[in-house]
A = this chain, B = another copy of it.
Amino acid sequence: MTFHTQLERVACAVEERLDRLLAQDPVQERGPSPGGAELGQAMRYAALGGGKRLRPFLLIESARLFGVAEKDALQAACALECVHCYSLVHDDLPAMDDDAVRRGRPTLHIAFGEPTAILAGDALLTLAFEILSDTQTHPDPAIRAELVLNLARAGGWHGMALGQALDLSPERRGFSAGDVAKMQALKTGALFRFACEAGAVLGRSSPSERAALVGYASSFGQAFQLADDLLDAQGDASALGKAVSKDAARGKATLVALLGVDAAKKRLGALLEEAEAALAPFGDRAITLLETVRFAANRTR
């Protein structure tokens, strides 16, 4: 199976499972009181029908290194995707990045209104922890509790939420390249790190294997973000399905703007080498993870 076929296959499996996790039964559809169906519909709008599902893919492929079957990593992968989708919904809000288009569709607050968008984000975040703590995710409660702890740390006030706060802070306009890198390690890196660590947790890996995956995730996150910034600097909105060059318009220099395009491309190449080196302990088993970081670095949308 080629890498792209594998990526699409996993995306379909994630879509299917999310669809089931967000299913509204007929009673729910009517709501416990009038007006009860809208929240679930908004959550479905935010979580279904889009995205490359890269984070779930990383989680599933990391778990596979240790012999964990895809079906046994799918729930944790969906929990992670719920957190990613909630973060997009809240980041798009008028008070935050004020984005009207996401994945080629109106953003959630445009489609459902701002109050429902705030609540649907809250509920997707909460659902992530409901999924992780469910026995269907893993029979061992110690594994479930560890996944919850890791995801809460990755998403929370020392992780993704802090990254977004830094990106919105007044100081952001004066950030050095180092500051931007640290911010991005939190804002987007923390969830990539969780993806790889969760695979290690599900696979009961050794500490050194887990550390290797964390190293890979770090290089992956930086490469992903640099590629994103390069696309943003050069890209066109219709191919990306979202607005481009918005950071620049807001006076927020990206790493690409601070380093220059040539240096950024060189750095991207170095990050690919770092990712490859981090995967060395896994040998040929890690071929898909290696292809994933190459894909993330070289994608055109």
| A residues at B contact (CB < 8 Å) | 28, 31-36, 38-40, 43, 86, 90, 93, 95-96, 114-116, 118-119, 121-123, 125-127, 129-130, 132-134, 140-142, 144-146, 148-149, 151-153, 155-158, 161-162, 164-166, 168-172, 174-175, 179, 182-183, 186
Contact = CB atoms under 8 A, between A and B. Distances in A.
Contacts of A179: 33-34
A53 B96 CA distance: 31
Q: Which 5 A-B pairs rank lowest in CB-CB distance, beginning with the nearest?
A: A35-B169, A35-B171, A130-B152, A95-B114, A126-B156
A114 B98 CA distance: 12
Contact of A162 (B39, B86, B121, B134): B39
A175 to B, nearest CB: 7
Nearest to A143: B141
A119 to B, nearest CB: 5
A132 B118 contact: no
Contact of A123 (B95, B156, B168): B156
12 contacts: A32-B166, A95-B114, A118-B118, A125-B125, A125-B126, A126-B152, A127-B157, A129-B129, A129-B151, A130-B153, A133-B149, A141-B146
Given A36-B169, A130-B152, 9 more contacts: A36-B162, A36-B166, A90-B119, A123-B161, A123-B162, A126-B157, A127-B156, A129-B151, A141-B145
Count of this chain's copies in the oligomeric assembly: 2
Contacts of A172: 35
Contacts of A169: 34-36, 38
A116 B127 CA distance: 22
A35 B90 contact: no
Residue of A86, A144, A157, A174 with most partner-chain B CB within 10 A: A157
A278 to B, nearest CB: 22
A122 B129 CA distance: 13
Given A119-B161, A149-B134, A182 B126 contact: no
Contact of A122 (B115, B125, B151, B183): B125
A161 B34 contact: no
Nearest to A124: B157
A169 B134 CA distance: 30
Residue of A118, A129, A151 with most partner-chain B CB within 10 A: A129
Nearest to A156: B126
